Structure 1
Amino acid sequence: MRIGETGFTTMCESDAPGDVVDFLRGYHDRLGKAVFENGGTLDKYLGDGLMATFGTPQPSENDVSNALRCAFDMLEALSIWNRDRNVEGLPPVRIGIGIHFGPVISISGDIGNRRRLEYSVIGDTVNVASRLEKLSRKLNASLAVSDLLIEAISPTDKVGQSLIKRLVPAGVQDLRGRRGKIGVWIYPLK
């Protein structure tokens, strides 16, 4: 799962550094809470975004629906925060979320250099999630997920199946830097 906030570059350009840090703390707190409450692992913060995994380091049968539920919990948390921000005269926060399903390479303490090593996941699955996050903007959506994620949710998973019903198909899409096209489902901006 890859999440990025839109409008962050403009905020950094025009707002005081302390205001930007306060914003990021509130933003990361809300999104991180959703990751942990849904059994995810917060891999890293990426400035105005984050990367989370589900099923690392220990897989479970609910990882796929947990990832999708996490995305909807994030959107709900930001909707509530945006109501408060509106009262304060602040602009709304919009995000794009990309989720893909597949194998990753988990590396513990091996990414980086000898002065700073960290845990991370890498591979095509991570790259596709990142591209889906960026594609969400083009598709005017707050969430973009792959066909593989949809297919990985068991027909007997009632929670997962109810979440799928909130998505609409966006067809087969090209992803920058990737040869193969991928089927995409979205949750349109509201």
Structure 2
Amino acid sequence: MKQLFSLILATLLTISAFAQSGGYQVGDKVADFSLQSTDGSSVSLSNFASAKTVVLVFTNNQCPYAKLYENRLVTLASSYGAKGVQFVFINPGAADPGETLQDMASRKYRPYLADETQEVSRQFGATKTPEVFVLHNDGGEFTLKYKGAIDDNPQLESGVKNFYLKSVIDELLANRPVSAGDKRATGCLIKKY
């Protein structure tokens, strides 16, 4: 009886851990999605089929961590745009006060998409803002290569020692394997609806 109870408990814990991990894992092919942009247009992942790499950034307007990273992310997007890297910013809290399309339009992010139903956030398993998902274009299909933190110091840009996102992008552009692995993002928890 004790062995049966232990087996059932172990199975339940395993299922629980698997259910909590959710979303795409590194190496998974990513399905297309469409969300509304701050300019009113519908933007799909497939719109970026000519990009070598797409960086999805789940962020919002009010999280203090997201605010600390805004300039860093805009700078990275600008620096890598000419190299075939497309940054796409997604707001998983677009239904919250202060997170409307009008509020989002005042930010520097472009394109900035509203995930009002949180379908895309759940699809990717995003849990924090900001959190990045790096997709590499494999002949028209996108494969997840990295998810997690942008760097190791959200508070102080000058104190960063490990530039995880930048390193991943550089490795992908050089056709080298990604060495970073998943790094836990530091940020605000995404409120689930």
Structure 1 length as normaliser, TM-score? 0.26
| Larger helix fraction of residues | 1
**Structure with the greater relative contact order (CA < 8 A, sep ≥ 6): 1 or 2?**
2
Structure possessing the higher radius of gyration over alpha carbons: 2
